[in-house]
Structure 1
Amino acid sequence: MPSTKKTLHFMSCALATAVSVGILGFGMSTSWAETSMLCETNGTAHIRLELFNGFLTRISCPLFGGVDNFEVTSTLSVTGNAPLILHILVVFFLALCMVCSAGSILIALYNSVSNPYETYMGPIGIYVCSSISACLSVLVLILFPINVSVTSMAEDLVATMVSAKPGEVDLREKSSEMMMGYFLVIPYTVLSLVAIALIYAYDHAAYTQRKEQQRPTEDAPKEIMMY
């Protein structure tokens, strides 16, 4: 059976990772960004984006207004350019984050009730899974705002929803704001790093203890070495 210290560290790691999964899961189901644009002379277009669905509110854009719901990926697939690729990457990275976090939880729980060797089922497994989760979530934090603010994602969505080709609708003065879903990726990243720190603290202490128990004979008293 593992020691109490080991059980506490690995159970804390599993708890931190489980909380991060809950936060990310909730974040993936809520709004990620809102974008507003001026359309033609006096019209406006307002888009609220989730990861999978979106909501477009038009006022005199281009001629009439309306409120439309749409699927983000299928709507972007009409144009099939960089915004679609970046959005698919964001969703794919988030899915990998969830998978890696699940692996980290399972490994942590396994270590809390057993003493496996230093393999992928030990601290190394948690280092790998949690590190991948943290790195991919940072990439999401970078790619998503680039896709929303820098690329023509919003313009393509509006043009597709009004059955026009990209560039046919005069859209300008785009302003974007990140929403709760996006910002919830940050605590997920932090908790993934916390999980790594908890296991590193235990692993370092265990390594130091093993070194102290394996001191070379030259550190022994000279009286003992004479016999």
Structure 2
Amino acid sequence: MPSTSKTLYFMSSALATAIGIGILGYAMSQQWSYTTMKCARSESDLYNGSATIDLGLFKGLLKRESCPGFGSTDTFEVVPTLAEGEEVASLILHGLVVCLLVLCMVFSACSILISLYNSVSNPYETYMGPVGIYTCSSISACVSVVVLIIFVLNLNVTKMAEDLVTGFIPGISVVLLKESSEMKLGYYLVIPYTALSLLAIGLIYIYDHAAYTRRREQERPTEDAPKDIIMY
């Protein structure tokens, strides 16, 4: 049976990771960005309309004011709407974001299982020990950072927002000028998930380092007792 300290450390690591999964799951259900744009019928016209997009990973909300015609409010499925547009890169990057987030949750779940296994047993130093937790939690943390970068790039470099707006006004040519984009709750909740994944690694490292130091002290040879020197 593992020691009490080992059980506490590994259970704490599992708890931190579980909280991280809960936060990430909630983040995926929230809105990730808010974009405002100006709208005109052609490049020579003045921008006399506007559109805003409240974007989540799966659903979004579009509000138009004279862009063109009368204003309207529409909800939409993000992936199908992007698939109907001309910007393939934005669809690929958005799909990649969703897939990477699912991958984060899978590796976090593996980290929890390994932590729970170590809290009730003493496995060898293999992938079922601290090495497994280091690997799974590190991948989760790194991939979540990649997600933050890709989402911002997709929002600001590609024409994802413009494609989503023009998808609701087929057959009408409009010119859109993006004014600003701001990140919302869903995006920022990925940050505490990353921090909790790193905390899970830190807890196991503290225990592993202390256990290694203790083993080294136990393996240190004891000093020989002084012997009498007999001179002939």
Same fold (TM over 0.5): yes
Q: Is the 8 A contact 2:87 2:163 kept in 1?
A: no
Normalised TM-score (structure 1):
0.93
**C-alpha separation in 1, matches of 2:80 and 2:87:** 9
Q: Which protein shows a greater Rg?
A: 2
**Structure 1 residue aligned with 2:51:** 45
Taking the TM superposition and a 5 Å limit, the aligned residue runs for 1:52-67 are 52-67=58-73
Q: Secondary structure at the match of 1:85?
A: helix
**Stretches (4+) displaced over 4 A:** none
Mapped pair 1:87 → 2:94: yes
Q: Which runs of 5+ in 2 are unaligned?
A: 41-46
Long gaps (5+) in structure 1: none
RMSD in angstroms over aligned alpha carbons?
Answer: 1.5
TM-score (norm 2): 0.91
Number of aligned residues: 221
Please give the secondary structure, in 2, of the residue aligned with 1:120. Answer: coil
TM superposition shift of 1:164: 4.4
Quick check: 1:175 aligned with 2:180?
yes
Aligned residue in 1 for 2:197: 192
Question: 1:51-78 CA deviation, whole Å, 9 max, x = no partner?
Answer: 0011110010122221111111111112
| 1:150, distance to aligned residue in structure 2 (A) | 2.1
Q: Does the residue aligned with 2:127 lie in a helix, a strand or coil?
A: coil
Aligned partner of 2:21: which letter?
A: V
Question: What per-residue deviation string (whole Å, max 9, x for no partner) do you get for residues 150-206 of structure 1?
Answer: 2111001111121248xx321114310100000000000000000000000000111
Q: In structure 2, which of residues 135, 138, 143 is the aligned counterpart of residue 131 of structure 1?
A: 138
User: Contact 1:24–1:184 (CA<8 Å) still a contact in 2?
Assistant: yes
2:18 corresponds to which residue? 18
Who is 2:152 aligned against? 145
Task: Identify which of 72, 76, 97 aligns with 1:70.
Answer: 76
What percent identity do the matched residue pairs reach?
Answer: 62
Q: Distance in 1 between matches of 2:135 and 2:74?
A: 43
Shift of 1:145: 1.2
